[in-house]
Structure 1
Amino acid sequence: MKSQSKLHRWARVTDAQSAIAAVLRKLGLHDLKKTFDRHKPSRPRRLFFVLEHTMELVIETLDDILPFIVADTGIIHSRHDGYSVINYVYTLENTFETAIARECRGLKFDPDGNLIARPFHKFFNLGEKRPPQDEPWGCEHVVLSKLDGSMIHPAIVRGELVFMTRMGMSDLSREAFRTADEPVRKLCCDMITAGFTPIFEYTSPDNRVVLAYDRPELTLLAVREMRSGTYMAHGDVARLASTYGVAVVSAFDSVSDYSAFWKETRAMEGIEGFVVAFADGHRVKVKADAYALRHKALSGLAHEKNVLAWIATGATDDILPLLTPDAASLVREYHDKVLAGLDKWESEITGLLTEFGHLPRKDLAALLQKQLDPKLQAVAFRALSGTPAREGLMEVLRRASVNAAKVETIRELFDLQWRPREITE
């Protein structure tokens, strides 16, 4: 006989399944029995795992989350006009240790603390948290395209439909809302009314991360029951999208050989990768190596010190092919500006040493002190000892590229002007 707590878990999961079945039945997409049969794993033990997992993730109000947030792990509660957000702003080794923490990826609440949107939980790269062979490949799953844009979801704020990113309302989410046609907006309103959060990817020529898209588009990725966190089966999501006339993410056959799948995906060009979505809500992502390398390079553009380091270590030529044309143009412009400054100081130092290098050391030091910045004085004296001035100047750049504060110490010397590019995850 099941204990009272286990019966409660069954009830909660049944509630979520019933909600999914009801909304699909209302749309004429499903009958109740097929809904339960599809989600029922073949082994009772596996089903109990799913129930345990789902029970732990029931969220209705802020009070279900706040007591479990561990201080100094990067997870914060930020308040905005008409709503608040539970989200992470940086990650540490222990940031996502619990199921509750993994839900803290853009949860939205109204001013009274009631949950109003539940986008994707935090999920990881294949092999990041456990060996690939330990994933439940024998369980029901589907492979989905991983689009290279920004996650967008709807919510109702002050009685109006709005779009949000993980962080909340932004210029990007407002741009996505303007792109949304009537079918997308109707689907959003109907799903929210039924207690679900539809999750989209917004891709656009103006919202380029790595891959280029020729027109703005919202693609339905998933639909999630807010209270329990249960994900609607992808087949049902696809039928839902078809009913409303909304674009849906491409799906492929399940993985029969995980090793071959991983190897082949990593070798692909022109795509970001795939997401493997299991029936119980567990997900893993697999990215193409070429995409991952380019994304890392593009992400580095947000910090001037990284770009300066590429120049100082001679890595620019290796980085440029990984960047988008616009980003590559910015880096070339910065690269040329830095090297122009370097050429200027190399010429200045060489000229001073040619003219006054014969002076006694003390007199030369006094002269250089008047003519050069302290960092350049050191370069000049090293040049007297046989180290080429250019090599000494490159060392100045290398030392300055360690952190943002040190970059500031040479900004005027080399007239550094960097326009950072923000990369959206």
Structure 2
Amino acid sequence: MDLYCYAGTHAFFNLADDPELFAAAREARGIVFAGEEIVSRPYHKFFNAGEHAEYPVHVPEEHIIRDGVVLEKLDGSMIAGVQVGNSIFWGTKMWADEFHHEISQFDDGKYEEFAKQANRDGYTPIFEWVSPKRKIVIPYEKENLILTGMRHKETGAYLPYEDMVSYAGDIPVVQQCSKDDLMEALNGTDREDMEGYVVRHPDGEMLKVKLDWYVAVHEYASSRKAILKAIHDDKIDDVISILNRYEATRSLVAEVEALTKDFGKFVQSKVDEIVGMVEDRKHMSRKEFALDIQGYDKYWKPVLFQVRTEQENGGNLVLLADKLVRERAGKILG
């Protein structure tokens, strides 16, 4: 079988001027072929409000809603129930095995039977897997596999929400929300117990609307590098303020404060090391100095030479070393 999944969202924007190629590229989100047969067709790539020209930042709200159904956006992992021989494989868009094992242990058999029937009827059943062990931002209390969509493998058409609810039987289905809820979100009203909304139109087009609090928190809850960059950019007070604002992320504040201290210790240690090395070799010529530090870390070696020059000019070695160490640490953090 052949799996196609995009490696970076930049590809979609490069293809935006070619509608046919753009539509084809949006299918590369975990679609699976066995020869010429499509065996799994999960969601096509769709965008956040303001992320793409289809739905610019200032798009009229009535166009976002149109005749669509508003659904809760769950904070988990997309899972497709794929028929492989006589069994069902629970696959993410990259077919991560650990999710398959988790869901197989969770399922008492009803999900597998449901997925087999859906596949027999020509559909890929699409779920969201939420679990305390897989927390992103929202702290779900228990594991659950929630049906969010059913897509025809050949045509790509999505089963309408009402029909999907009827088809699901006792399988949990994503909650439908009111258009008033969505309008409040578009107008900046936050609620801290959900990620946002998905608007699904009858033609299959979809749009994500993430709540402001989730967008702000997700960056720091899911990326230590983002926290370290904020520390480097001297914006950590703003980050702590954001995290303290929401119950779901207050527990991260202690970790952020610890990382801030660790970064400060790293900078101080590196500055002391570099200044000490330069001071210990002040009696050497530049050629002797260069030969003596040949084995030093290549990434930090330029700082040694710059601090050595500052020494020759009678400048403040500690001040320059601190500035240069922070700059190079910032490059590592992106």
Please report the TM-score for the alignment, with normalisation by the length of structure 1.
0.62
8 Å contact from structure 1 (residues 141, 277) kept in 2: yes
| Percent identical | 28
Distance in 2 between the 1:348 and 1:86 partners? 48
Equivalent residue for 1:393, pick from 311, 319, 322 = 322
* Corresponding residue number in structure 2 for 1:86: 4
1:253 shift after superposition: 2.5
8 Å contact from structure 1 (residues 356, 364) kept in 2: no
- Amino acid in the other structure paired with 2:139: A
* Corresponding residue number in structure 2 for 1:268: 191
Distance in 1 between the 2:181 and 2:239 partners? 36
Q: Which has the larger radius of gyration?
A: 1
Equivalent residue for 1:155, pick from 68, 82, 88 = 82
Unaligned runs of 5+ in 1: 1-82, 408-425
- Count the aligned residue pairs: 311
Q: 1:363 to 1:315 in 2, by over 3 A?
A: same
1:278 shift after superposition: 1.2
1:381 shift after superposition: 5.1
- Amino acid in the other structure paired with 1:278: H
1:386 shift after superposition: 4.6
Distance in 1 between the 2:181 and 2:238 partners? 37
1:210-266 Cα offsets, whole Å, 9 max, x none, are 22112111111111122111111112222233x2x12111102236985x541245x
Q: Secondary structure at the match of 1:103?
A: coil
- Amino acid in the other structure paired with 1:343: Q
* Corresponding residue number in structure 2 for 1:378: 306
1:366-415 Cα offsets, whole Å, 9 max, x none, are 897658855245336547755461562342232243248xx9xxxxxxxx
1:287 shift after superposition: 0.5
Q: 1:300 to 1:85 in 2, by over 3 A?
A: same
Distance in 2 between the 1:179 and 1:311 partners? 40
Q: Does 2:47 correspond to 1:124?
A: yes
* Corresponding residue number in structure 1 for 2:331: 402
Distance in 2 between the 1:342 and 1:195 partners? 59
Q: Does 2:207 correspond to 1:278?
A: no
1:134-187 Cα offsets, whole Å, 9 max, x none, are 864574321111011100011111332111001124212332232223222221
1:286 shift after superposition: 0.4
Q: 1:285 to 1:100 in 2, by over 3 A?
A: same
Distance in 1 between the 2:15 and 2:119 partners? 29
- Amino acid in the other structure paired with 2:77: S
Please report the TM-score for the alignment, with normalisation by the length of structure 2.
0.77
Distance in 1 between the 2:324 and 2:125 partners? 52
Q: Secondary structure at the match of 2:151?
A: strand
- Amino acid in the other structure paired with 2:325: V
1:24-70 Cα offsets, whole Å, 9 max, x none, are xxxxxxxxxxxxxxxxxxxxxxxxxxxxxxxxxxxxxxxxxxxxxxx
* Corresponding residue number in structure 1 for 2:28: 104
1:277 shift after superposition: 1.0
Distance in 1 between the 2:180 and 2:196 partners? 14
Distance in 1 between the 2:65 and 2:72 partners? 20
Unaligned runs of 5+ in 2: none
